[in-house]
Amino acid sequence: MIKIGIVGGTGYTGVELLRLLAMHPQANIVAITSRGDAGLPVAEMFPSLRGRVSLKFEDPAKANLAACDVVFFATPNGIAMQQAPALLDAGVRVIDLAADFRIKDIAEWENWYGMTHACPDWVEKAVYGLPEVNREQIRSARLIANPGCYPTAVQLGFKPLVSAGLVDCGSLIADAKSGVSGAGRKAETHILFSEASDNFKAYGVSGHRHLPEIRQGLASMAGASVGLTFVPHLTPIIRGIHATLYAKIREEADFQALFEKVYANEAFVDVLPAKSHPETRSVRSANTCRIAVHRPQGGDTLVVLSVIDNLVKGAAGQAVQNMNLMFGLDETLGLCQLPLLP
């Protein structure tokens, strides 16, 4: 059994980790931390876990995280970079669900996140945890930078085209929509029910923190810098990301066959038949990305539709997928739940 600690278990990604790990046959959760809720039974905060998680939240300063095999950080940005180095030095593996180790350019990270990085030396050692791209590096990694939700949907959607050099990588467009849970479990005006319900809006058009992460990943696939316009939107749903991706064709190919070949052996990427339109509800609560590729009116622009559950494949599920790889387990272990419908 893998001894697991979770730092910051009171948010949506934290409870999603708990849900998935409580059903994982090789997972033994031994510590869950929260400064503000130390001493509170986890199942009292999250009744859905009653009978499956008997732990209480602990003060991070008192929890014996160094005795764990792996520690997940489901914390706001800036926390893992403060606490992870001591755990790594103690031989504990770390999976960070925030953005502290995702961007290799420290100056760019500091510019986007507005703080000085506390351990830049570990950024270079971290492995970006997108299994469909970095599977072999993940297996031997000590520190995983778990991808963001938008970056997961966008990169998986563009990957076959960008890696093959078939599209103009200087003019990529990602038009993406997210459910309200992507904003986290907190009280803010714009995500109140009466504000977000029956409404639809773009945000972060001038620049979103996930933009440099997506550009970095796509540039690695392309072997050169890329030009990307990324516009996120808030939708009145709880879970789900729908990314509509646009790319100008440079070289002709059977694009449907290309996507099917690239993802033929990927357990968590489902390429739909031609002319399909994936829905966010088709992946709700599952660690799956569903993709469809279109060529409207036979023109020079490809449209790729990519959907994920932002809390699962976009966060906690992908983190568990990475844990499985790190500990030599079947990659799908504990992650074969079917989507919920309706």
**pLDDT tens sequence across 146-157:** 999 999 999 999
Mean of the pLDDT values across residues 39-51?
A: 96
Asked whether the predicted pLDDT for residue 187 surpasses 80, the reply is: no
Categorize the per-residue pLDDT at 14 as very low, low, confident or very high, splitting at 50, 70 and 90.
very high
Categorize the per-residue pLDDT at 192 as very low, low, confident or very high, splitting at 50, 70 and 90.
confident
User: How much is the pLDDT for 191?
Assistant: 82
User: How much is the pLDDT for 118?
Assistant: 97
Residue 233 pairs with which residues in a beta bridge?
Answer: 177, 202
Task: Copy the structure tokens of residue 63.
Answer: 């929890």
Mean of the pLDDT values across residues 260-289?
A: 98
The CATH class, in words, for 149-310 is alpha beta
H helical segments located in the chain = 12-22, 42-45, 80-89, 106-113, 120-125, 131-139, 149-164, 193-196, 210-222, 255-262, 317-326
Q: Domain residue spans in the chain?
A: 2-125, 149-310
User: How much is the pLDDT for 251?
Assistant: 97
User: How much is the pLDDT for 318?
Assistant: 98
* Domain 2-125 and domain 149-310 have a common topology: no
User: How much is the pLDDT for 276?
Assistant: 98
Tell me the percentage of the chain whose pLDDT exceeds 70: 100
For the chain, list the strands marked E by DSSP. 2-7, 27-33, 70-73, 93-96, 127-128, 143-145, 172-178, 201-202, 228-234, 241-248, 269-271, 289-294, 301-308
- The CA–CA distances, whole Å, from 288 to 22, 48, 335 equal 19, 22, 9
Average pLDDT score over the chain: 96
User: How much is the pLDDT for 186?
Assistant: 79
- Residue 239, φ and ψ in degrees, nearest 5: -120, 150
Long-range contacts of the stretch 140-143 (C-beta < 8 A, 24+) = 141/93, 141/326, 142/88, 142/93, 142/94, 143/84, 143/88, 143/93, 143/94, 143/95, 143/96, 143/101
Categorize the per-residue pLDDT at 241 as very low, low, confident or very high, splitting at 50, 70 and 90.
very high
The CATH class, in words, for 2-125 is alpha beta
Tell me the percentage of the chain whose pLDDT exceeds 90: 94
State pTM to two decimals.
Answer: 0.97
Positions annotated as catalytic residues are: 149
Mean of the pLDDT values across residues 196-207?
A: 93
